[in-house]
Chain A
Amino acid sequence: NAGVTQTPKFQVLKTGQSMTLQCAQDMNHNSMYWYRQDPGMGLRLIYYSASEGTTDKGEVPNGYNVSRLNKREFSLRLESAAPSQTSVYFCASSEIAGVGVKGTQYFGPGTRLLVL
């Protein structure tokens, strides 16, 4: 049981390049999330998917797109990377998008992205 996995672990991009961050969970969770964390800052929600087939914007969605490929996988795409997108990206999942035990989020190890 691997929990939440993310690939790649590290990535360096040039401004204008595109890339997709992959996230998968093996806990049969309905809800999945993408966050970014900048130095000295907390986590900010980019997009989330409350259930398979749905996606919604979070606090900082500009410059990103997401795809809920199936129940297990939720990808984050940067179409044209900018230096302001240099950050650590975390994927998370939970049984439901709510509170209580079922709303507890489980996080992946993160992807460190540098945009030059």
Chain B
Amino acid sequence: LAKTTQPISMDSYEGQEVNITCSHNNIATNDYITWYQQFPSQGPRFIIQGYKTKVTNEVASLFIPADRKSSTLSLPRVSLSDTAVYYCLGREVYSGGGADGLTFGKGTHLIIQP
């Protein structure tokens, strides 16, 4: 079960690429890294998930190096609407189903300025 550490807050500007790094030094073999986004007064929304190397979807990219002790969420060309809290989770796979590791922590508050 991975304990994750991420910055409390970050600032950037519209049009910039933003990278949020999450540390998970004790990540286990079965842990996946998952990122969620939360806007004020809303529930979190899934962004991206990965196990190793690089994963890309229409919203973001996720880079996980070979040692898997950290991961980086990359948001290309951010806009004001990307201002939100971003959570990094380490989730462990249980073949029989389970919810261990569902700890969202405080996340990273990303503020995008004009």
A residues whose Cβ falls under 8 Å from a Cβ of B: 4, 30-31, 33, 35, 40-45, 48, 50-51, 56, 58-59, 90, 92, 96-101, 103-110
Residues of B at the A interface (CB closer than 8 Å) are 32, 34, 36, 41-46, 49, 87, 91-94, 97-99, 102-107
Do residues A43 and B99 form an inter-chain contact, with CB atoms below 8 A? Answer: no
Given A99-B91, A104-B46, the answer on whether A58 and B99 have CB atoms closer than 8 Å is: yes
Instruction: Report B-chain residues with C-beta under 8 Å of the C-beta of A92.
Output: 43
Which residues of B lie under 8 Å from residue A110 when comparing CB positions?
41-43
The answer for the CA separation of A32 and B102 in the assembled complex, in Å, is 12
Q: Taking CB as reference atom, which chain A residue is nearest B46? A: A104
Residues of B within 8 A of A56 (CB): 99
Q: Can you list 12 A-B pairs with a CB-CB distance of less than 8 A?
A: A33-B102, A35-B104, A42-B104, A42-B106, A97-B94, A98-B94, A98-B97, A99-B32, A99-B92, A100-B32, A105-B46, A106-B46
A57 to B43, CA, bound (A): 21
Q: Is B93 a contact of A98 with CB atoms below 8 Å? A: yes
Besides A99-B92, A109-B41, 7 new A-B residue pairs in contact (Cβ under 8 A), listed by A number = A40-B106, A41-B106, A42-B105, A98-B93, A99-B49, A100-B32, A107-B42
For A56, give the chain B residue with the smallest CB separation: B99
Residues of B near A106 (CB, < 8 A) are: 46
Contact pick for A97, options B43, B99, B105, CB 8 Å: B99
The reply to whether A96 and B97 contact each other, CB–CB distance below 8 Å, is: yes
List chain B residues, Cβ under 8 A from A100. 32, 49, 93
**Cross-chain contact of A50 among B36, B87, B97 (Cβ < 8 A):** B97
